[in-house]
Chains A and B, each alone.
Chain A
Amino acid sequence: AAGVIQSPRHLIKEKRETATLKCYPIPRHDTVYWYQQGPGQDPQFLISFYEKMQSDKGSIPDRFSAQQFSDYHSELNMSSLELGDSALYFCASTANRSPYEQYFGPGTRLTVT
């Protein structure tokens, strides 16, 4: 069965550069969540989209933006990268914002040097 796909899996950027992370939800899932997990830390919710509209917002820096496209994939754009942005970024998808069936992607490990 198809799972949540994220790309790239690993990314190395320098300070002040930009990065774009992509998340492809499970087919027919219309809701995407983005989470950030710093080294040794709990995952923190960043932002979510439902039917291509932002549905909730967490602790996402102003330097980050995200959107969901017509095919329901989502992109997280990160600018002016800082060392503290180094983390595992993973997304989850579900249908109709259901809390029961959230499926997780493998994550993108971003390293900022």
Chain B
Amino acid sequence: KNEVEQSPQNLTAQEGEFITINCSYSVGISALHWLQQHPGGGIVSLFMLSSGKKKHGRLIATINIQEKHSSLHITASHPRDSAVYICAVPNYNTDKLIFGTGTRLQVFP
């Protein structure tokens, strides 16, 4: 079992739809990262959170430390949101990141 699991692995949506991507982890953590990677591109950090909820524009990230679960929501999705979304956590005893398998999102016009 992977230490960091994401669902779904693939997601397609129509423009304007509300998107939810989930991340569950089994290790103890101090923070969780949500990352975005466009095809052939580098990694962009969207959120770093250790509790509660954060919002940047149309993106919202929540985390429940007790349940070891985080969600990334995209409101009013747009084709330019098409990318792979990755959650990553540092193991509690180290600072290096463990990456989830990613969720490939495609938003169609």
Q: Could you give, for residues 70-107 of chain B, a 1 whenever the CB lies within 8 Å of some chain A CB and a 0 otherwise?
A: 00000000000000001010100011111111100000
Q: Which residues of A approach B to under 8 Å, CB–CB?
A: 31, 33, 35, 42-45, 48, 55-56, 58, 88, 90, 92, 94, 97-107, 109
**B42 in contact with A33 (CB, 8 Å):** no
**A102 in contact with B33 (CB, 8 Å):** yes
- Bound form: Cα–Cα A94–B102 in Å: 23
Quick one: which of A90, A97, A99 has the most chain B CB within 10 A? A99
Distance (whole angstroms) from the CB of B97 to the closest CB of chain A: 7
**B96 in contact with A45 (CB, 8 Å):** yes
Instruction: Tell me the chain B residues, 30-62 only, with Cβ under 8 Å from chain A.
Output: 30-31, 33, 35, 40-45, 48, 50
Smallest CB gap from A33: residue in B: B96
Q: Which of B48, B96, B99 contacts A42 (CB 8 A)?
A: B99
Contacts of A100 in B (CB 8 A): 30-31, 48, 50
Can you offer 13 A-B residue contacts whose CB atoms are under 8 A? Answer: A33-B95, A45-B96, A45-B97, A90-B42, A90-B43, A99-B29, A99-B97, A100-B30, A100-B48, A102-B97, A103-B45, A104-B43, A104-B45
